[in-house]
Amino acid sequence: MAAWGCVASLGAARWLCWRAARAAAGLLGRLSRRSYAVGPAQSPPTFGFLLDIDGVLVRGHRVIPAALEAFRRLMNSQGQLRVPVVFVTNAGNSLQHSKAQELSALLGCEVDADQVILSHSPMKLFSEYHEKRMLVSGQGPVVENAQGLGFRNVVTMDELRMAFPLLDMVDLERRLKTTPLPRNDFPPIEGVLLLGEPVRWETSLQLIMDVLLSNGSPGTGLATPPYPHLPILASNMDLLWMAEAKMPRFGHGTFLLCLETIYQKVTGKELRYEGLMGKPSILTYQYAQDLIRRQAERRGWVAPIRKLYAVGDNPTSDIYGANLFHQYLQKATRDGAPELGAGGPRQQQPSASQSCISILVCTGVYNPSNPQSTEPVLGGEQPPFHGHRDLCFSPGLMEASHVVNDVNEAVQLVFREEGWASE
Mean pLDDT across 46-67: 95
Residue 401 scores a pLDDT above 50: yes
Residue (of 141, 132, 278, 138) closest to 208 by Cα position: 138
Instruction: List pLDDT tens digits, range 285-329.
Output: 999 999 999 999 999 999 999 999 999 999 999 999 999 999 999
Residue 333 scores a pLDDT above 70: yes
Q: What is the CATH number of domain 47-119+281-366+395-418?
A: 3.40.50.1000
| Beta bridge mates, 250 | 240
Can you name the CATH fold of 123-276? Rossmann fold (3.40.50)
Domains in the chain: boundaries: 47-119+281-366+395-418, 123-276
Residue (of 91, 86, 62, 64) closest to 74 by Cα position: 86
Instruction: List pLDDT tens digits, range 192-246.
Output: 999 999 999 999 999 999 999 999 999 887 778 999 999 999 999 999 887 788 8
pLDDT for res 122: 96
Residue 394 scores a pLDDT above 70: yes
pLDDT for res 340: 54
pLDDT for res 85: 98
Mean pLDDT across 105-119: 96
User: Exposed/middle/buried for 259, CB within 10 Å: 0-12, 13-18, 19+?
Assistant: buried
pTM recorded for the entire structure: 0.82
Which range (43-47, 183-187, 268-272) has the least confidence? Answer: 183-187
- Are 47-119+281-366+395-418 and 123-276 equal in CATH topology? yes
- Say what percent of the chain tops pLDDT 70: 83
CA distance 5 to 256: 88
Model confidence band, residue 344 (pLDDT cutoffs 50, 70, 90): low
Strands ordered across the beta sheet of 307-312: 116-117, 85-88, 47-51, 307-312, 355-361, 402-404
pLDDT for res 184: 80
Mean pLDDT across 382-389: 83
| Rg, C-alpha atoms of the chain | 27
User: Residue 412 — φ and ψ, nearest 5°?
Assistant: -60, -40
Q: What is the 3-state secondary structure (H, E, C) of the chain?
A: CHHHHHHHHHHHHHHHHHHHHHHHHHHHHHHHHHHHCCCCCCCCCCEEEEECCECCCEECCEECHHHHHHHHHHECCCCCECCCEEEECCCCCCCHHHHHHHHHHHHCCCCCHHHEECCCHHHHHCHHHCCCEEEEECCCCHHHHHHHCCCCEEEEHHHHHHHCCCCCCCCHHHCCCCCCCCCCCCCCCCEEEECCCCCCHHHHHHHHHHHHHCCCCCCCCCCCCCCCCCCEEEECCCCEECCCCCCCEECHHHHHHHHHHHHHHHHCCCCCCCEEECCCCHHHHHHHHHHHHHHHHHCCCCCCCCEEEEEECCHHHHHHHHHHHHHHHHHHHHHCCCCCHHHCCCCCCCCCCCEEEEEEECCCCCCCCCCCCCCCCCCCCCCCCCCCCCCCCCHHHHCCCEEECCHHHHHHHHHHHHCCCCC
